[in-house]
Chain A
Amino acid sequence: MNFELTEERQMLQDSLRRYLAGASGDVWAGLADLGVIGALFPEEKGGYGGAGFDLAVVFEELGRADLDVPLIDNALLPGLLMTAAGQDVEPLIAGGQKIAVAHGETAARYDLNWVETRADGDLLTGEKCVVVGGEAADVLIVSARHSGTADVQDGIGLWLVERDAPGLRLQGYEIAQGGRAAEVSLTDTPGTPLMTEGYAAIVQAMAAATLAEMAQTLGAMDVAVAMTQEYLTTRKQFGRPIGSFQALSHRLVDVMVAVEQARSMVILAAAHLEAEEPVRGRHISAAKNLIGRSGRLVAEECIQMHGGIGMTEEYALGRYAKRIVMADHRFGDTDHHLEQFIALGAA
């Protein structure tokens, strides 16, 4: 048994951490130049990674940085759907192309099989919600149903839709964790077919995206805890550091224990990303459930232990806390993954 990173991943982690510590300007181009986007995809697709632990390393570092870079939404998730469809992702890896995935719908909540958007031949009509990175994308991958009722896994196809395609409307807005998303409305919008039956590819890509989101959240939790530890040792009230009060120090220990549990779950999920279903799904769901619970504890306790200062936008802790809590609203929340875990049985 060995929990150490390989030498290559250690190097990736080091160089990414160094880069992010001083990153400014066009971070997307910087990450592409550093080869970070390539680390998300396997060699046969033009990358040099793509394994669960590659994703864990990259996104944990990204989560430590006080930046909002939609690497999951504009690179990983669309790239995996493109490769599943046998498409070239080299422009994506080079950083010259951004794609976003418009799959989620209001009625679907977190269910991947629920698609009401209809395909009439290659003309798509429907409403896609909270498409992160949608405005920044040159092209969208849109899921639509060519057959079956809204809730069946068969009959969901994928299309490439240009940003300026007729009948396509985007309404963009800020999102709570930082960055932007959009509501996407399609009315007889022409698309280029990518896959006829896309459900399995969606499940697989979303599993990787969920792992990435969890690793990113773990990175953010590490920073939030370190900031709180620092605050408890430096902030004085009643003539002594507030961390000398057990009412706070014991709670910080509980938070730290929760983060170590979360770290173990990211490792476990990364190790099972390439496993067959239902083993993969069960591990991903177990991890997302635990991280949803521990993330809430970490964010709320770190704010509380800071007091008012933890609630200000100017101080970084609040931004990390928002990223940690809002991660629960991406790729299925605590309850959704509890249900998935139960449904997938004792695999």
Chain B
Amino acid sequence: MDLNFTAEDHAFRAEVKAFLAEKLPAALADKVRLNQGLSKEDHDFWHSQLNARGWLATNWPKRFGGAEWGTVQRHIYEEECALAHAPRVVPFGLAMLGPVLQKFGSEAQQAHWLPRILNGQDWWCQGYSEPGAGSDLAALQTRALRDGDHYVVNGQKTWTTLGQHANMIFCLVRTDPDAKKQEGISFLLIDMDTPGIEVRPITLIDGGVEVNEVWFTDVRVPVENLVGAENKGWTYAKYLLTHERTNIAGVGFSRAGLDTVKRIAIRARSGGRPLIENPHFAARVAQVEIDLMAMSTTNLRIVSKAAAGQAPGIESSLLKIKGTQIRQEITDLARRAVGPHAMPFASDGVDGNAPVPDPLDAGAVAASYFNNRKLSIFGGSNEIQREIYAKQMMRDAK
């Protein structure tokens, strides 16, 4: 047993830190730290900085322009980026579609789409959930009917994250309505400019718009945009979801969040003293910090197992459940820390809203608290994760 990183790991961490210090503008990091909401330009800028260094597609093979890092390197990189309050890389093209195309796409699809993800020509969004197909994703109803060399798509997708910025969407569609529900699904790439597509923004309780409804009415999609085989989309979808769950523990985000909480609690006063010295508040912070120490080690145990070539199975459910609980607890601490100043509520600040007074330099903590309720809902809700874990547990017991 050796809980230390290697000398190479330390050198790599130093390299990442140096890159962030040089390339991440303070104003952008502040926007992330204060939960002010990022524009498309902010995301594009950060992607271009990472791409120039070859660090955008950390999990892609080198032959597709990726960094081809191992799990330990990726862990270090993601942690350092979070601690520096770097924008989160938009995952839809890079972490989700990319690996699917690399494994199941045709050479022509790989040659066409993968470079466009790296250079920012395409912004992808994910067309999975539907109003009637949330946790029960395989119940999806969006139809794609073959008509000559096109599919004709009709239906509705929802919770499409950052769909308002996207020019492309990858969709799960039903191509065989008579098959068993997992078996009649296909994986289609659809240009958002095709006639018949309408994007309607959904305002969330934090006042921001990050998810959308996407409506399809007789949308014609060329058949060459089918990925893999017709009616095999569920297999690709499941493969994609395992990639969606990388970095699911979000240890770096939790560390950064806890740093922020402590900084607020040093500034905030309680009875004339810094709040951080208040025993009740200090106890709350300590409890989460202890949970995070455990989570961090649990995460490293799973990371090093993965580094040794063992694919994480139900461990990713464990990381999702505990990781999101900790992250949510930290957003709760942040709103507590600011006291009455949690109440001022301005969405984004990018919508032309006047900035609200923020004497504790805490940012939009209430908005962040409410927004991060999503962590235990999306990407397979924590209830679904427990179901996955429980099923495996029962199988193992047999």
Q: Does B198 contact A (CB under 8 A)?
A: no
B376–A304 CB distance below 8 A: yes
Which chain A residue shows the least CB distance to B356? A173
A111 contact set on B, CB distance < 8 A:
270-271
| Residue in B207, B269, B284, B366 whose CB lies within 8 Å of A109 | B269
With a 10 A CB-CB cut-off, give which of A111, A174, A300, A311 has the most chain B CB atoms.
A311
| A310→B357 CA distance, assembly (Å) | 29
Measured CB to CB, the residues of A under 8 A from B are: 104, 106-107, 109-111, 114, 129-130, 132, 150-151, 171, 173-177, 181, 183, 237-238, 242, 245, 247-248, 296, 300, 303-304, 307-308, 310-314, 318-319, 321-322, 325-326, 328-330, 333, 335, 338-339
| A183→B354 CA distance, assembly (Å) | 13
| A308→B346 CA distance, assembly (Å) | 21
- Chain B: minimal CB distance from A231 (Å): 12
| A148→B319 CA distance, assembly (Å) | 54
| Residue in A106, A151, A173, A310 whose CB lies within 8 Å of B354 | A173
Please judge, given known A-B contacts A109-B269, A322-B370, whether A329 and B383 are in contact too, CB under 8 Å.
Answer: no
| Residue in A300, A311, A333 whose CB lies within 8 Å of B336 | A333
| A238→B203 CA distance, assembly (Å) | 28
B280–A311 CB distance below 8 A: no
B280–A106 CB distance below 8 A: no
A237–B280 CB distance below 8 A: no
Q: Does B195 contact A (CB under 8 A)?
A: no
Apart from A109-B271, A176-B366, A237-B136, 18 more pairs, CB < 8 Å = A106-B359, A111-B271, A114-B271, A129-B357, A173-B357, A174-B345, A181-B343, A237-B134, A247-B386, A300-B328, A304-B382, A311-B377, A313-B207, A321-B205, A325-B370, A329-B343, A330-B340, A335-B336
B281–A313 CB distance below 8 A: no
A304 contact set on B, CB distance < 8 A:
373, 376-377, 381-382
Consensus secondary structure, chain B interface: mixed
Interface size class of B (residues with CB under 8 A): 35 or more
B204–A177 CB distance below 8 A: no
A326 contact set on B, CB distance < 8 A:
342-343, 366
| Residue in B136, B278, B373 whose CB lies within 8 Å of A311 | B373
| A314→B332 CA distance, assembly (Å) | 23
| Residue in A171, A310, A314, A329 whose CB lies within 8 Å of B340 | A329
| A167→B341 CA distance, assembly (Å) | 23
| A301→B372 CA distance, assembly (Å) | 13
Which chain B residue shows the least CB distance to A132? B343
B272–A150 CB distance below 8 A: yes
Please judge, given known A-B contacts A110-B339, A326-B366, whether A314 and B136 are in contact too, CB under 8 Å.
Answer: no
| Residue in B129, B268, B342, B344 whose CB lies within 8 Å of A308 | B129
| A329→B373 CA distance, assembly (Å) | 18
Q: Does B158 contact A (CB under 8 A)?
A: yes
A307–B346 CB distance below 8 A: no
Restricting to B258-293, which residues have a CB under 8 Å from any CB of A?
268-272, 275, 278, 280-281, 284
A339 contact set on B, CB distance < 8 A:
280
| Residue in B135, B336, B340, B373 whose CB lies within 8 Å of A130 | B340
- Chain B: minimal CB distance from A184 (Å): 11
Restricting to B122-147, which residues have a CB under 8 Å from any CB of A?
129, 134-136, 139
| A174→B346 CA distance, assembly (Å) | 7
Which chain B residue shows the least CB distance to A174? B345
Q: Does B187 contact A (CB under 8 A)?
A: no
B135 contact set on A, CB distance < 8 A:
237-238, 242, 307
Q: Does B369 contact A (CB under 8 A)?
A: yes
Q: Does B89 contact A (CB under 8 A)?
A: no
Which chain A residue shows the least CB distance to B369? A325
- Chain A: minimal CB distance from B276 (Å): 13
- Chain B: minimal CB distance from A108 (Å): 8
Which chain A residue shows the least CB distance to B378? A308
- Chain B: minimal CB distance from A28 (Å): 21
Q: Does B219 contact A (CB under 8 A)?
A: no
With a 10 A CB-CB cut-off, give which of A151, A183, A329, A330 has the most chain B CB atoms.
A329
